[in-house]
Structure 1
Amino acid sequence: MVEQAARRELRYAANVVGPERAAGVLTERLTRRLAAQPGGPDAVTDPVGWLRGRGLPRSSPCADARCDEGTLMPTGTACERCVELRAERRRRRACVAERVRAELPDADFQARRQAVEQRLREVVAADLVRDEERRRQAAEAEAVRTAAAQRARAEAAAAEQARRARPCRQCGAPEAGGLCGVCRAQEEIEVLLRQAVATVVAGCGHPADSSAAAALAASTEAAMRARIQRACDQIRSDGGNEVSAAVAGRLAAASLLHERCQSALQALGRSPEAKAEAGQARAAQGRRRHLYPTAQAAEQAAAAAGREARQRTAEHLLTARSTAWLAARTPAPTEHPAPQGRGAVYAAGAAKARAAMAT
């Protein structure tokens, strides 16, 4: 039993001061408490009980895990929290003594001392009652929070179960969560196709509203759809199901978008705008050649600045032109005539809310 208690305290001390100092901390504790034992070490008649009850356990009046009898184990200095607690107790005793002295001015020292002790017991009892009330309120609040969290989890689980039970809104497949895997993959394929077409048009250099750009977009979309269809047919011929074929089509569309982005960036990097930005960045970096130790290092830095500026300009042009192309191909919301008569204000507000949600 003593060995278990000692190992337990050693583990605790090791977590606080490290494994190297744990044994020293425990040795100092035992030495200090033996010296403070009334009658000295010879007065300990039950060594096992003394070690388990008094010698080994950490004792601290405060809540600091590093404190042992008012001393911090890592540093060996006085615990500030214990000092504050002692100062608070002294202030409380002084306040009680002052009130008793004011209430009993004619009482002798012994009577005042008994009154102070009685008043202190009452104050401590009142503090204990308040602490217990705070703990009860905290427990009730924690129970309320736990119940609310459980209700929220139950409602979320019910909502998720209801969502999973909804059929697919496109093909009507049961228990598809509103959209089955095949239809979801088809939607993602369409989004990727639109982005790829917009990327190709952005990198071609033709005006977005020209007939050449429209023809390029149509031919590009047809070629990409054919490639995606071939990928899906290959999976079906290998024995895959429709879900696998749809996933293969989505992967093919993502690969096409990546290829078209790289080609568009290369084309836009050769545009006049990119060349101008690269020249300006190279010239600006060239004016800082005095910061480099050699002329070759300055030339390398200028070339790197030009490449970065060219890349940034190409990315900016690609983003701006593809976004403009997609915005031009997005159908505008249908405008309804303004309502007349009763409820016009409400209808106008509802129309604004629908427009905001659509956006």
Structure 2
Amino acid sequence: MAALRIRKRHLAIAAAIIAAAVCAVAATRFWRDAAPAEAGEEDLQRIVFADGRLWMLTIKGHLLSLAPDEAEPRRSAGKTIDICRLGDGMLALAQRGEVWRLRLRTDGRWRNLPAVPTEGDTLVALGCEGEQAMLVTSRRLIDLQAGTPRAVRLNGELQRLHMATAAPGDAEFAWIGFNVGEWGGGLMRIHRRSGRLEKVHSNRSGEICGGPLNTDCDPVNGIVASPSDPSCAVAAIGMLHMMSHGRIVEVCGTRIRRLYFKALAPQPPAGTLDEGEPSSTVSFFGLALAGGDLWAVGIDGLHRLRPGQPPQFRPLPKFTDRGGYMVSFDVPGVVLVLSNANQRVSLSGAIPLMAVR
């Protein structure tokens, strides 16, 4: 009898593994046929559309740019650490010795902005929203909005780990999210006046990876101000490792709520609901605010969220090879690029990156 129970347990475990594999295949079938060309090209960590061009930053710090009518990207000289869209331009950050150099690209030209001493810090993320820009370092929050950098020392030390995304927020809070793949990442709030770091975390079910925002299980891949309340933040969550899970959440003060999720078939046989959310859901790898609407890019396509209206969905378009990078300008107002960078921390394959035009 004991041997029979052990055999049944082994069969159940095997069935769960097979189901997870089936879910992984289903979750990745969207892009496998259009993976980036294996021609020695570098994985992309960030993309921005500004000044009429798509700007792509590689993991190794090479800054590439591509116009919609060009067949191959151009490479800028030197190494770049991070980029973001600032107003109608593109802000690029580089390090020269003990100084961070900032350059703004507008109207076809580069303009140098005031440099920022590193003071021995390492960069965690560059964040822009509208006309606001900031640096989050291992020990400081540096506001770049007023032209002269202003720094607030953090009450703890941050590490970048793999990928980080930041948003300036409002006069009270700034935000930073982390993606460490299968190890989660989560969201942190930075008090602008005091520099106090606060982990934003909620596991209402008490399960191992219960949501709606779990630091240990939820990589954060995008942060924007909430269209309904600029003092709140909206974050995109996406993790693809054997299975897929993700959602869009809103953080207002101490309240964290799900704004949106989409079930992704097939579901595992022993899957459970977490406040109505199934085990397998679409993972999201980008988030933008345009014209009062939220745009989220998931592994299945583009999701447009308008307050008070049903979500709108558009499948991923066809990607074309532009010098070894799979790019699509087919969706009005949006550029999409496939990147393998996320595979460094999870078994995700290529994932879509998004930039709003």
Greater CA radius of gyration, 1 or 2? Answer: 1
Higher strand share: 2
Higher helix share: 1
TM-score range for the pair, normalised by the shorter chain length? under 0.3
TM-score w.r.t. length of structure 2: 0.20
Q: RCO higher in 1 or 2 (8 Å CA, sep ≥ 6)?
A: 2
